[in-house]
Amino acid sequence: MRILITSEHHFMRIPAGHVYPVPPAVEDYAFWHKYLEVFEQVVVLSRVRTVPIELAGCARADGPGVVFGDLPDYLGPWQYLRCLPTLRRRVKEVVGMADAFLLRFPGAVSLLAWKSLRERGSPFGVQVVGDPWEVFSPEGVRTIVRPFVRRIWTRGLRQICREASAVAYVSREGLQRHYPASERAFVTHFPNVDLAGRTASPEQLEARVARIRAGSRPARSVMPLARLGTLGSLAQLYKGPDILLKAVAVCLAKGLNIELEFAGDGAHRPAMEALAQRLGIAGRARFLGTLPPGQAVCDLLDRLDLFVLPSRTEGLPRAMVEAMARGCPCIGSAVGGIPELLPPEDMVPPGDADALAQKIFEVLGDTDRMERMARRNWEAAKEYAPEVLVRRRREFYMKVRELAGHGTGPSSLSDRVSEAV
């Protein structure tokens, strides 16, 4: 059976026909391969542009069992409107080539696919990975059409969840309150988190605790250096990097001895580097770019004293779960699924740099609290153990397959789906 899955990321197709994710996206072949546990073929409906160069050393997104239904690679609302007739035609064409359907929302591609599926009367599943009301808040996206898109996408997601036959949320309860599924739908929750091999051992946790305790020795005449860090895309300002930089500047001005490491890349990176310069903290803020998943991320988290995620919007942040699994003390903003991960005393209002700076002061100044945070987070991350999430994820995929029946669809899919628009 062939499943069509929507993606809001951008991809590149090289002359040889292979497809690669546009950085900082991480939707490579390994990401799509998990769907092949239940389906024989995955059709990714996403924006794809053709590039005239080979991409040596990059991880491919396509591969055995994974093909792409290319959409025009529009950028922003105005290009979207210009491409809309072509987008509708192409979406309808690719939808007609698949047997089962899974919409990953929020996103314009998912909205287009949903409208095509309504015309067909086809059952579909939904993965709710974020809240469009928060995504298109005034601080998150700055465009003249933001208020209209915010309402359209929010209303659309509520309707989609009511019509879906199966709904999976990344949060345990937060997104469910705002975007409830119908009573007849199969409902579950699992975040896009893979902690296999990434959870700190008990010995590594104790080593962190020993380092925390060492920082409180009264014999120190100089305040020890504390390393703050975060991970997140800079394609938008959803993760609040500007808020974090401003909070770090406040902390440094008040005498706190800290450094910030930021792992992530995107269009806003130059602006954030410029902001660090204007705030006078460029020497204390390191922009690391996108780190490869796995050991490089673990190494970063292990050298941090405090993980900070002042997001403006979230589903359930994978980066924070990974930090908790390494025993990091964590603070974040009270949005999306973060309240499901952290207690109230470890959160601040979104968009408030002064409140974040005060919270950083509170935590770094209390080593007993930091030890409690480290132990609590390490224990809490066990809820996201691979064996638990894999079971829920597989049950959801099986339900989507069951709803779709057992049709085989067109035999020419692999050839037709990759044709340029």
pTM surpassing 0.85?
no
Residues 406 and 348 in one domain: no
* In a domain? residue 421: no
Note whether 332 and 310 are within 8 A (CB). yes
* In a domain? residue 246: yes
- pLDDT tens digits along 346-360: 999 999 999 999 999
Domain that holds residue 374: 202-383
* In a domain? residue 133: yes
Q: In this predicted structure, what is the pLDDT of residue 134?
A: 81
Is the pLDDT higher at 358 or at 417? 358
**Residues β-bridged to residue 331:** 308
| Overall average pLDDT of the 284-305 stretch | 92
Is the pLDDT higher at 172 or at 185? 185
- pLDDT tens digits along 244-294: 999 999 999 999 999 999 999 988 999 999 999 999 999 999 999 988 878
| Contacts by residues 293-299 (CB-CB < 8 Å, ≥ 24 positions apart) | 293/26, 294/197, 294/198, 297/198, 297/231, 297/263, 297/322, 298/198, 298/326
* In a domain? residue 259: yes
- Token couple for 421: 């628009």
End-to-end CA distance of the chain: 24
> What count of Cα atoms within 13 Å lies in the side-chain half-sphere of residue 231?
22
CA-nearest of 6, 1, 380, 392 to 168 is 392
Residue 219 has pLDDT above 50, yes or no: no
Residues 8 and 35 in one domain: yes
Place of tokens 């239904």: 69
Mean pLDDT (the chain) is: 89
Residues 221 and 151 in one domain: no
- pLDDT tens digits along 230-245: 998 898 888 999 999 9
Given pLDDT bands bounded at 50, 70 and 90, which one contains residue 420? Answer: very low
Q: What is the largest CA-CA distance in the chain?
A: 74
Q: In this predicted structure, what is the pLDDT of residue 313?
A: 85
Residues 213 and 186 in one domain: no
Residues 332 and 404 in one domain: no
* In a domain? residue 115: yes
Residue 158 has pLDDT above 70, yes or no: yes
Q: In this predicted structure, what is the pLDDT of residue 58?
A: 81
What CATH number corresponds to the domain at position 76?
A: 3.40.50.2000
Residue 13 has pLDDT above 90, yes or no: yes
* In a domain? residue 268: yes
Q: Are strands 2-13 and 19-21 parallel, antiparallel or unpaired?
A: antiparallel
Given pLDDT bands bounded at 50, 70 and 90, which one contains residue 413? Answer: very low
Residues 359 and 408 in one domain: no
* In a domain? residue 197: no
* In a domain? residue 294: yes
Residue 395 has pLDDT above 70, yes or no: yes
Q: How many domains does the chain have?
A: 2
